[in-house]
Amino acid sequence: MVVILIPSYKPDDGLLTLLEQLHASKRYEGIVVVDDGSGEKFRPIFDRAEQIGDVTVVRHAVNLGKGRALKTGINAIMDAYPGAHVITADADGQHTPRDICRLADSMEAGPEGIIWLGKRVLGKDTPVKSLFGNTVNRIVFLLITGKMIYDTQTGLRGLPSGLLADMLHIKGERYEYEMNVLLEMVRLGADMKEIEIQTIYINNNSGTHFHPIRDALMVFSRLIAFAASSLISFALDYGAYALLIALCRLQPEFAYIGARLLSSAVNFSINRNLVFGARKGSFAKQILGYYLLAVLVMALGSLGVRWGTDILGWNEYLIKILVDSLLWVLSFMGQRLMVFRPVRAEAKQKARG
């Protein structure tokens, strides 16, 4: 049993065309449209939508964002269609009825508990803003999770019924919510599959309500949080490093080790509690893994500092900045994938009921 969910903000008549085509297919148990505070000017469109067979319109009095609209729609579907899977689609015509149907078929025919994603293949006709956003998101997602998802921004998604309740509790009210869902599902160990869909951009994607700076900052919030944690630890680390060289007359490689031991305890606490939200994991395993990784990073850093100062003859303060910058990505991925990794069976068990 599949129900279609379409969040919509200030749509045109293309929404009605899509709804009529979906209804005519008689493929779905129901269709839920969320009017995300579009205003009185757009009320006639939603009123006409409600006259189309199995379409239900849920309304926000004011615009609350795509993330909140998706959660409102998921909640309404769980209440009206218990046990139904959900396929989300955009209201702007980017997803064809054929591709929506293909995703539904894959979802019902494939293994239980899979999150299905419609993958747009980007090419020379892709608007620059969309090409840039998708590429950056793909790289950031890989850095955060170690998992390659080609199209992290796709709005065409198949969500299994067993995971819907969890999705209502995921943070995010606007465009960052969709990225947060993928991040959280990876953290919980959910399986994801992509199927290629037709790539459609209407009027060079000028109708999108995505705000590049504001929404990008929210999408990348976890990476930004890790960067902030790293900067705090770096300030403490670098200050201790400078003091150990200036006051204790230690060699750079030994000063590096002493400073890192001091700052690592602060970094562990911030990352465990705030960045990765891994308080439920085994503290003993996490701290052991963290310091094993820290020893590896510290050894590489110490060697890098010594090599830079003794062989290249670089400034001892500058070389530390360069070495730590190179090791930052290694540290992030190591903590995400090995130290604060999720219990992989959790989401799979929920998805399968």
pLDDT (0 to 100) of residue 263: 84
Domain assignment present for residue 345? The answer is no
pLDDT at 273 over 70: yes
Domain assignment present for residue 344? The answer is no
Does 233 lie in the same domain as 177?
A: no
Domain assignment present for residue 186? The answer is yes
Domain assignment present for residue 351? The answer is no
Does 210 lie in the same domain as 62?
A: yes
Does 108 lie in the same domain as 11?
A: yes
Residue where a domain terminates, one of 194, 219, 244? 219
Say what the pTM is.
0.72
Does 148 lie in the same domain as 10?
A: yes
pLDDT (0 to 100) of residue 123: 64
pLDDT (0 to 100) of residue 258: 84
Does 271 lie in the same domain as 199?
A: no
pLDDT confidence bin for 35, thresholds 50/70/90: very high
Does 153 lie in the same domain as 15?
A: yes
How does pLDDT run across 79-121, given as a tens digit for each residue?
999 999 999 999 988 899 999 999 999 999 888 889 999 998 8
Which of the two residues, 175 and 254, has the higher pLDDT score?
254
Does 160 lie in the same domain as 142?
A: yes
Does 253 lie in the same domain as 144?
A: no
pLDDT confidence bin for 47, thresholds 50/70/90: very high
Does 331 lie in the same domain as 208?
A: no
The mean pLDDT value for 227-247 works out to 84
How does pLDDT run across 3-15, given as a tens digit for each residue?
999 999 999 999 9
Residue where a domain terminates, one of 172, 199, 219? 219
Does 150 lie in the same domain as 259?
A: no
pLDDT (0 to 100) of residue 275: 77
pLDDT (0 to 100) of residue 104: 95
Residue 57, domain extent:
2-219
pLDDT (0 to 100) of residue 234: 78
Does 326 lie in the same domain as 209?
A: no
Domain assignment present for residue 308? The answer is yes
Domain count for the chain, please give it.
2
CATH number of the CATH domain containing 158: 3.90.550.10
Does 149 lie in the same domain as 240?
A: no
Domain assignment present for residue 306? The answer is yes
One-letter amino acid of 128: V
pLDDT (0 to 100) of residue 36: 97
